[in-house]
Amino acid sequence: MERVRPGGRVRAHRGFHRHRRAGGLRPRPAPVPGRRGVSGVREPVVTVPPEAAGLVGGGPHRALFLDRDGVVNVDHGYVHTPGRTEWVPGIFELARAARAAGYVLVVATNQAGIARGYYDEEQFRAYTRWVHARFAEEGAPLLATYYCPHHPEAGQGAYKVACACRKPEPGMLLEAIGRHGLDPAGSVMVGDTPKDMEAAAAAGVVRRFLLCGPGAEPGESAAGIAVASLDEVARTLVAGAGEAAPAAGRHGSRAPLA
């Protein structure tokens, strides 16, 4: 487990500000620290014992997989400090509802800011420990945060690679499924881009929600179920808490987006 570094101020949410590039971030060379898992995915950030995050018993366990930027925090572009953090409305309510319904919480995030040199892996991991502390304070501890630090075109040095972990590749999800004994057929993915939906489908995650923001037309598509808010996802999880999970294909098979 990693120690949580307290501090930092969180600004009030002012709406969905997605896909804005960060200003004033100076690229810096960064080393490539840390261990790698069996699939080549970076070691996840973990701050509490698995039992405290809901991983109790022999499993398999259901998971709520969350993208980060645009789902957990508002996407201002390369967010990596508490001072630039704005929580997406409903994220803590969703996390608590998921835990009450028997899901463990796993974040899977592409972090091209590391590849581009805007911040290094230790800065990201320190910030992520702070995020984990906030979820724990809200009564919904995260099991783990998986991240991909690569980019196939804009990466610097060893980070410039076409890897198996950057979404839409399913590497991060498959690593989490294997490491924690998760059941993809009974799990759920919430993302805000088609890449999130494709990665989840390839990992065998059947229920997928595409967060489109206020004013979005609700409905189901090949990618997933479009929702305007996280509240809609929370209501679905609570309503279906006792339902059996639908069947899914084998882990790692590239299932169609259906």
- Catalytic-residue membership of 67: yes
Cis peptide before 214, with omega less than 30 degrees from 0?
no
Show the 3-state SS of the chain. Answer: CCCCCCCCCCCCCCCCCCCCCCCCCCCCCCCCCCCECCCCCECCECCCCHHHHCCCCCCCEEEEEECCECCCECCCCCCCCHHHCCECCCHHHHHHHHHHCCEEEEEEEECHHHHHCCCCHHHHHHHHHHHHHHHHHCCCCCCEEEEECCCCCCCCHHHCCCCCCCCCCCHHHHHHHHHHCECHHHCEEEECCHHHHHHHHHCCCCEEEEECCCCCCCEECCCCEEECCHHHHHHHHHHCCCCCCCCCCCCCCCCCCC
- Judge residue 24's burial from the number of C-beta atoms within 10 Å of its C-beta, 0-12 exposed, 13-18 middle, 19 or more buried: exposed
- Catalytic-residue membership of 75: no
Catalytic residue among 69, 75, 120, 192: 69
Q: Distance between CA atoms of 112 and 73, rounded to whole angstroms?
A: 16
Catalytic residue among 67, 75, 120, 192: 67
Catalytic residue numbers, as ranges:
67, 69
